[in-house]
Chain A
Amino acid sequence: KAGVTQTPRYLIKTRGQQVTLSCSPISGHRSVSWYQQTPGQGLQFLFEYFSETQRNKGNFPGRFSGRQFSNSRSEMNVSTLELGDSALYLCASSPSQGTGYTFGSGTRLTVV
């Protein structure tokens, strides 16, 4: 079966712009989590959605938001981009909350 698909794979944006990243989970998976990975900070949890509801949220500013659609696909939006937002953004899906996470290959965002 298809894995977790994240689009786009690479993205270059300018400071102040906004960006939307997409994640298509494994078919049947209802939970989608988003993470930011930077070299010095490891995997930082952004938020988790389950059945279109945000169930958990990490310690990120309000510029970071997300949503989940009825087909479990999820989008993450970052507004007013800053240089420090340059990172690998990973999406993970699971059949239910908390276990069996499968990660996508990520979206590499570069803010210039």
Chain B
Amino acid sequence: DQQVKQNSPSLSVQEGRISILNCDYTNSMFDYFLWYKKYPAEGPTFLISISSIKDKNEDGRFTVFLNKSAKHLSLHIVPSQPGDSAVYFCAAYNAGNNRKLIWGLGTSLAVNP
């Protein structure tokens, strides 16, 4: 059972436009959510996170929105740049459950010049 779902395996966006990557989860006990970016042949790198007490967290061009009632979060990248082309993973955990990270399958983002 996939507790963290990234339903879009891939996304293609024009440079300068907004990229929106979506993530849904089923476990209402999750209280911390993270986004990681992964380039080929490299390990994932941490991008941005949000705790369940917030509904928005912003860091430069990256903003994560959390809708707890819908069990949905999204990552917005504005403006998108070709260097943003990578696989983006959504992950979540419950701080009271050994903090075991549960990962989505990833969304491959292609930003076209």
Residues of A within 8 A of B (CB): 4, 33, 35, 41-45, 48, 55-56, 90-92, 97-106, 108
Contact = CB atoms under 8 A, between A and B. Distances in A.
A55 B93 CA distance: 14
A98 B46 contact: no
7 contacts: A41-B105, A90-B44, A91-B43, A97-B98, A98-B32, A100-B46, A108-B41
Contacts of B102: 45
Contacts of A41: 105
B95 to A, nearest CB: 7
Nearest to B99: A98
Interface of B: 32, 36, 41-46, 89, 93, 95, 98-106
Given A42-B105, A98-B93, A103 B45 contact: yes
A91 B43 CA distance: 8
A74 B100 CA distance: 18
A99 B18 CA distance: 28
B100 A48 contact: yes
A98 B45 contact: no
Contacts of B104: 42
Contacts of A102: 45-46
A99 B40 CA distance: 23
Contacts of B32: 98-99
Given A55-B98, A98-B98, 5 more contacts: A91-B43, A92-B43, A97-B98, A97-B99, A106-B41
Given A42-B104, A42-B105, A105 B41 contact: yes
